[in-house]
Structure 1
């Protein structure tokens, strides 16, 4: 009975952690493009800097990691007199996971630059449509890498969320940079498509690493994983910035920034923090649920970002934005309703399993 109660408590805590990570991911995924858009709208031009900011917010992870270490140390000092416990380490990740997530971080760095360059040369509507394909790629790679099982509800969610993005793209052409050549447009389209494919591959790859590792995965380790991946991604973009001589241009760009020099740096820092929240939330959702659900969170964030752009940037609220949001909410509800029904069924099956031996033992053989 106590084991069953403990298992129920663990499930409940994981659900709470999932909700927190969903909020973190949506906050970061919606907020990051809005803040980085401020950078480009008001005079920012450095693509490698934009890419760097998408991974450079990792120092904020040192706060929860420090808290985790202090708590583990307190538990150790409290229990080590009566029980044999291992002295807590500052960094718990073992070498195999470190190597895997350094590679994942480099892939994220590549994804960030492709995404930044694609957005710099595509209309927002077209970019939204192409980025939405990440959910389809995530579904395919989740099936191939982690044998993701699909229900009618999850398939309906994928279709609705992609349709929502398609409708959003119908918002109209002609919102791209003026005087852009067709070659630049095609290059931007290809880069954004590869970025969508890459993130669709990375999310199931993270889930596979979680499942295959011999090390016990807990949330402290998820934070360490995010730290290693972000550090590798930052170094990837940092090399690009050095080659592109971005560090020489940044002070000059800050002086000519339309919102002022101070706000220029505020925008960069805020963009880095929000991008980090987006990545951490994605890693957390994969840990608590699945890579497919993390992909659904990304797709759901897209129409929300457009609605927030209407509020903060006074953009026009066309009917297609409302339709896109409605389709996305439909897909979102469909997915979670399916998950709820599945959990309900699993609980019923579990109760039947428990009751079966009891019924069997009550049979009178006399």
Structure 2
């Protein structure tokens, strides 16, 4: 029979795997569907930014499930239900930090939208891989992330992969995109990756400095606040840019038809909400560095799907960059596995030594 500690560990691993799946699904398919919006006639950058977080009301579903679970647990344990089933109230620091992260997310989404409107998915995805380097740097500064030779090697390789693309930024330029627009797309995408690389360690820093018990329910509430303010930021941009007035006209002129236009938007909203729910969960149960690595895991899938679905070019530079990215990914996880075995061995030696003490 499992002890309470073993049961909690099993639940944590289960939730970590579930959030890893959500993160990978959203991060792999999100760029493809947003690119589909642009290549078939979509032109609204602020709209593409908004749909990346507009699915935040869907977070109310797992929050409601969590509420029911805690209510049943309270009833089964004969506790006062009203004290355990209400939402966890965030302290001012957590709310302010979530708001700041949300606004930065909105800005990052806008920069990323600018980039993906000008770059092929296979190129933009490889640029976004540099996010891991930014995540690693900020994780070291904010949460004192410990690095091994393998994790440093992974960061260097992923950054080198993006540098290879930077040296050959015209070979896959779409016909309707000028050299200046392509260069701006590269810069905007890199800027979005840098912001995202800062936000993940800052979110982990928020968990550490919360000064209250951080539960999975609470991180869902944090995610709700983040996406609300990110969406609000984008809606302000849409109002200024008069995107709301243009949506109906853009839908009628969309190459795939008006109905599929709205289906593309709804699909993007759902998939990218999976990404945001997954990312806060992975940071909570794992680390910000792990979330950065997982964002890179989907790279090969996104690369191949973009080539197959959108007939994008796959030059030798992309092949080199992809190889470096995969090498970096394998290096990271090999190092983590080796470090995990070392920690287990040290723990066992400590327990044996303590058992031998009189």
TM-score normalised by structure 1 residue count: 0.88
Please tell me whether residue 232 in structure 1 is matched to residue 229 in structure 2.
yes
Q: 2:266 aligns with which of 254, 266, 269?
A: 269
Q: What are the equivalent positions in structure 2 for 1:89-128 lying under 5 Å apart?
A: 89-122=86-119, 127-128=124-125
Deviation at 1:328, TM superposition (A): 3.0
Q: Distance in 1 between matches of 2:262 and 2:104?
A: 27
Compared CA separation, residues 177 and 225, structure 1 to 2 (3 A)? farther
User: What count of residue pairs does the alignment treat as equivalent?
Assistant: 357
How big is the alpha-carbon RMSD for the aligned residues of Structure 1 and Structure 2? 2.6
- Unpaired runs of 5+ residues, structure 1, are 362-366
Q: 2:212 aligns with which of 211, 215, 234?
A: 215
CA displacement, residues 230-276 of structure 1 (integer Å, 9 cap, x when unaligned): 01100000111111111111011111111111111110010111111
Please tell me whether residue 202 in structure 1 is matched to residue 202 in structure 2.
no
Compared CA separation, residues 254 and 100, structure 1 to 2 (3 A)? same
2:325 corresponds in structure 1 to: 328
* Between 164-173 and 36-45, the greater mean CA deviation after superposition: 164-173
Answer whether contact 2:122 2:302 (CA < 8 A) is retained.
no
Q: What are the equivalent positions in structure 2 for 1:180-329 lying under 5 Å apart?
A: 180=178, 182=180, 184-316=181-313, 321=318, 323-329=320-326
1:153 corresponds in structure 2 to: 150
Q: 1:11 aligns with which of 6, 9, 12?
A: 9
Q: Distance in 2 between matches of 1:73 and 1:15?
A: 23
* Between 249-258 and 83-92, the greater mean CA deviation after superposition: 83-92
Q: Distance in 1 between matches of 2:58 and 2:236?
A: 22
Compared CA separation, residues 215 and 162, structure 1 to 2 (3 A)? same
Q: Distance in 1 between matches of 2:177 and 2:333?
A: 44
2:344 corresponds in structure 1 to: 347
Deviation at 1:161, TM superposition (A): 3.0
Structure 1 segments (4+ residues) deviating >6 Å: none
Deviation at 1:34, TM superposition (A): 0.6
Compared CA separation, residues 208 and 273, structure 1 to 2 (3 A)? same
Deviation at 1:92, TM superposition (A): 4.1
* Between 31-40 and 338-347, the greater mean CA deviation after superposition: 338-347
